[in-house]
Amino acid sequence: MEPMRPVVISVGGWDPCAGAGLAADIKTFEMGGTTGMGICSAMTIQTHHRFHSLQWCDAAMISSQLRPLLETYPVKALKFGIMPDMETMLGVISELHSAHPKASVIWDPVLKASAGFTFHQQITESLLHELLKQVTLVTPNLPEAKILFGDQSSNTVALQQQIHKQGWGAILLKGGHAVNHANDLLVMSNDIVELPGKRFETNTAKHGSGCVLSAAITANLAKGLSLTDSCRMAKQYVEGFLQSAPQMLGYHSQIEL
């Protein structure tokens, strides 16, 4: 009998058009050779170009979905998408690590939908610092990094010093909003690695591309790849996703992790 693929869980929002959130994550997990599972943190009403509204699931509902999975499956990694608050995230991490102490935790800090909806108006600094100590990797784009880290978001040396001093997990600064390049920077306590990216001549923007990147990293980590290799291979996967279709909803069936 073939052994079970590594099990990974996404905790995030349900997107009815399936371009982002849980559906996008599970598609990516499966393409990445892992078994994808999902915990709903919010029911959203949206399409690829318009975000209408959402209804959060409370901490008790999220925990009740999570507990049976942790009790049944050998979970290797968990990814966060949109979440109601940081306290709930810390509770999920505590439950995860009580059951599976070595599981990786990836946080895609979705603070604002691509269609313009803002999920959180303010960040509690003390909770942010505690959360950063609990995650393996956080994957902000440049506007999100500015909100999370202030002026340090553009100073990778200062960020690295904070990671080392505070005991934070690594930070992947995504370059999709950069000018003249699309390079990502992986900032770790002992190294800073530039991951070169491609700018495409045609408009290849895709709904959910940030979800896909962080999900691909999660799958790679679950398979035992290093953090650097996980991020590098995930970036290549997303570049294939960006070129997979002319419209805003991309395809996964034509690419592999």
Q: Does residue 52 lie within any of the structural domains?
A: yes
**What is the pLDDT at residue 154?**
79
Which residue in this structure is represented by tokens 């979905």? 65
Q: Does residue 98 lie within any of the structural domains?
A: yes
Q: How confident is the model at residue 202 (pLDDT cuts 50, 70, 90)?
A: low
3-state secondary structure the chain: CCCCCCEEEEEEEECCCCCCHHHHHHHHHHHCCCEEEEEEEEEEEECCCCEEEEEECCHHHHHHHHHHHHHHCCEEEEEECCCCCHHHHHHHHHHHHHHCCCCEEEECCCCECCCCCECCCCCCHHHHHHHHHHCCEECCEHHHHHHHHHHHHHCHHHHHHHHHHHCCCEEEEECCCCCCCCCEEEEECCEEEEECCCCCCCCCCCCCHHHHHHHHHHHHHHCCCCHHHHHHHHHHHHHHHHCCCCCCCCCCCCCCC
Alpha-carbon distance 139 to 12, whole Å?
15
Q: Does residue 254 lie within any of the structural domains?
A: no
Q: How confident is the model at residue 247 (pLDDT cuts 50, 70, 90)?
A: confident
Using CA atoms, how far residue 165 sits from 129, 161, 169, 188, 190, in Å, is 11, 6, 11, 12, 11
How many domains would you assign to the chain? 1
Q: Does residue 90 lie within any of the structural domains?
A: yes
**What is the pLDDT at residue 201?**
63
Q: Which of 198, 182, 210, 211 has the alpha carbon at shortest distance from 243?
A: 198
Strand order in the sheet with 137-138: 51-56, 35-46, 7-14, 75-80, 104-107, 137-138, 170-173, 184-188, 191-195
Domain hosting residue 151, numbered range: 7-242
Alpha-carbon distance 224 to 76, whole Å?
9
Q: Does residue 162 lie within any of the structural domains?
A: yes
Alpha-carbon distance 176 to 184, whole Å?
8
Q: Does residue 252 lie within any of the structural domains?
A: no
User: What CATH number does residue 185 fall under?
Assistant: 3.40.1190.20
**What is the pLDDT at residue 256?**
62
**Residue, of 204 and 24, whose pLDDT is higher:** 24
Q: Does residue 110 lie within any of the structural domains?
A: yes
43-47, 65-69, 76-80, 150-154: least confidently modelled range: 150-154
Q: Does residue 248 lie within any of the structural domains?
A: no
Average the pLDDT over 172-180 and give the result.
72
